[in-house]
Amino acid sequence: MKKREDFDIGKFRVFNGSNIYLNKKAFVFNIFLEPEGPEASFYKTRIYNEFPVLKYRNPTTVIDLFSSTLIHVLRMDRKLFITDYSISEEKEDYVVAVEYFDYSITESCIQIMSEWFKCMNDGKKFDFQQKWEKVQSDFSHTIYGDPQIYSFLEAGVKNKIPCFSLETEHLFQWGYGKKQVRGFSFSFDTNSIIDQTYLSELYNIHEFSNHYLNIGKPKKTKFKNTYFFILANGMVSLVITKKNTNQKYTTIDSDEMITNFSLIENIFSNFNIAIMEVIVEADSITDEWNENKFNIGKCNIGNEIPRERAVYYVENADLANQFMVSRFSKPEQARIPIIAGNNISQKQANTIWKKLKNIKPSIYFASLINNEISINGNPIQLNENHARNVEYILRNPHLEFAVFNHQTIDVTKYGYFHEGADVFILDSTILQEDVLKSITRPEGILIHITKNEINIFEKNQVCSKISFFTKEDKEKLLLSSLDPILKRLWSKYN
C-alpha cells in the first residue's frame, strides 16, 4: 500500500440536503494531515497574500486554515453565500464538510487546495491564481453561475427560505409542501396558465385596460422613448428606459413619476404572474399617461424576458429579494410543521395523524417510518435513498404536516434532507444519538426520552418532566404530551 502523504484527500461524497455534518447541502471529504507536518504558521504568509481577510480570523490549526481557505476558494471571488463548514475526525483522517453548489467545481477546488499545500510543503512554485481563474470560468458556465438563478437562490438564503434542486425537472423549489414555489431563473410555477395565455395577446391587454380603467384603445402614434417595467407579483420593482435613438438603458427612480407606476400596477396586479416585463412606449414618463400619451407594446413573462435585460434587472434591482418577500413575508410562510425522531413507530405516526384530524379533518399528512412512506394512510413504494424519500414527501404541493423517523444508518449515509424539525423526539433507550439533537430548529422542541423519564426542552431549558415505568406508559404519555404541541404547531404555520 502506498504511504499516505500530507494533504492526501479522498472519500468524496455529497448530501443534497441537511445531514449530520451541516444543516444544509454539503460536500464531504477525508483529508490526511501528517502529524509531524508543519504548523499553521508555515502556510499563513502565502495564504494571507491570496486571502487577506483570513488574517482577522487567524486560524490556529492547519486543518482549520485549510478548511477556511477552501471556503473562500469556493466563493469564486464573487462573494457567493458559501460560508459554513465543519471538521470532525475519522481514525487517522479529518473529515471536512463544506457548503457547495456544483459537484465538479467543488471537487476541482479541493484538488487545487491539496496541490497548493503540498507544493508549499515541498518549497515548489504553484500558480494558484491561474488554476483558480480556470475554475471560476468553469463555474460561470454552470447553472449556479447564471446571475439570474443565483440571485433567487441567494434571496432564499437571506430570507431563511429552505430551497433544494429538483434534478429531474431542472428546477429549484423554495419552501416545503403546500407552501412551496418552484421555478428556474425568472419563471415560476405560481404563474396562472390562463393569465399567461391571456397576456400573450396584446389585444387582450388593451381590451382589459379599456374595459376596467377606461384608458382607451391604443393609437398608432410614434413615441420617442421605450420604458421597461419589471413587476414582481404585480408590484413595480424596477423601471428602465431606452432612448429610441440608441441602445443604452437608464434606470428610473420610482419616485420620479408615481402616477404612471401605479397605472401599470393597477392593470397587471390583476393577473397571477410571478415576474413579468411590461414594455410601454411614451414620449416622457414625467407626463401623466392617458389614452393619447402612451401605448402598451408587449408583456414578457418569465424566461421570455430577453437575457440582456434580465441580467440588467438582477444587477440594478433587488428583484429576487422582493419576489421572495412578497411570496414569503416570514420564514414560517415557506414551511410546514415537521416532527422527526429516531424511534417513531408507524403506530405513533398514525396516532399523530388522527390527533391532527381533530384539528383539521381533511389534513394532508405524510410520514416516513423506517421502511414505509405513507401519504394520508396509503403506503408508497420506498426508495433506498433515505434523503430522496424525504425530498419526495416535501415536494408534494398538497402536504400540510410531515413526520419523519431517522435511523442512524440512514442519516449517516444519506442525511436527513429537511432543514430542521419543529419537534425532535430523541429516544436514548435505543441508542445515544446526541448528534441528532441538532435537527431541532432553534425555536423548536426537543423531547428526550431516557430510561424512565420524558424530558421536554424548549430553548435548551427543561419545561416538563414526565416519569414512566412501563413501555405502555411511555407510549401513552409521549403521545398525550404532543396534544398541546400539535395545536401550537398548526397555529404557527396556518
Q: What does each of the 494 residues of the chain score in pLDDT, given as a tens digit?
A: 577 899 999 999 999 999 999 999 999 999 999 999 999 999 999 999 999 988 888 889 999 999 999 999 999 999 899 999 999 999 999 999 999 999 999 999 999 999 999 999 999 999 999 999 999 999 999 999 999 999 999 999 999 999 999 988 889 999 999 999 999 888 888 889 999 999 999 889 888 888 887 776 766 778 888 899 999 888 888 888 876 556 677 887 655 566 788 888 888 999 999 999 999 988 888 888 876 788 888 899 988 898 888 888 888 878 899 889 988 999 999 999 999 999 999 999 999 999 999 999 999 999 999 878 999 999 987 888 999 999 999 999 999 999 999 988 899 999 999 999 999 999 887 654 556 767 889 899 999 998 899 999 998 899 999 999 998 999 999 999 999 999 999 999 99
Where in the chain are the domains? 8-145, 148-187, 193-329, 336-493
The pLDDT of residue 290 is 74
pTM above 0.75, yes or no: yes
Question: If residue 404 lies in a helix (H) or strand (E), which one and from where to where?
Answer: strand 401-405
- Residue 200's CB: how many other CB atoms inside 10 A? 14
Please identify, in words, the CATH class of the domain defined by 193-329. alpha beta
The pLDDT of residue 291 is 67
Query: Cα separation of 392 and 373, whole Å?
Result: 10
- Residue 395's CB: how many other CB atoms inside 10 A? 17
The pLDDT of residue 66 is 97
Query: Cα separation of 29 and 14, whole Å?
Result: 9
The pLDDT of residue 247 is 64
Query: Cα separation of 28 and 9, whole Å?
Result: 11
Sheet with 365-369, side-by-side order of all strands: 378-380, 372-375, 365-369, 401-405, 338-341, 421-427, 440-449, 453-458, 461-467
The pLDDT of residue 158 is 93
The pLDDT of residue 354 is 97
| Best CATH choice for the domain 336-493 from the list 1.10.10, 2.60.40, 3.40.50, 3.30.70 | 3.40.50
Specify the 3-state DSSP secondary structure of 423.
strand
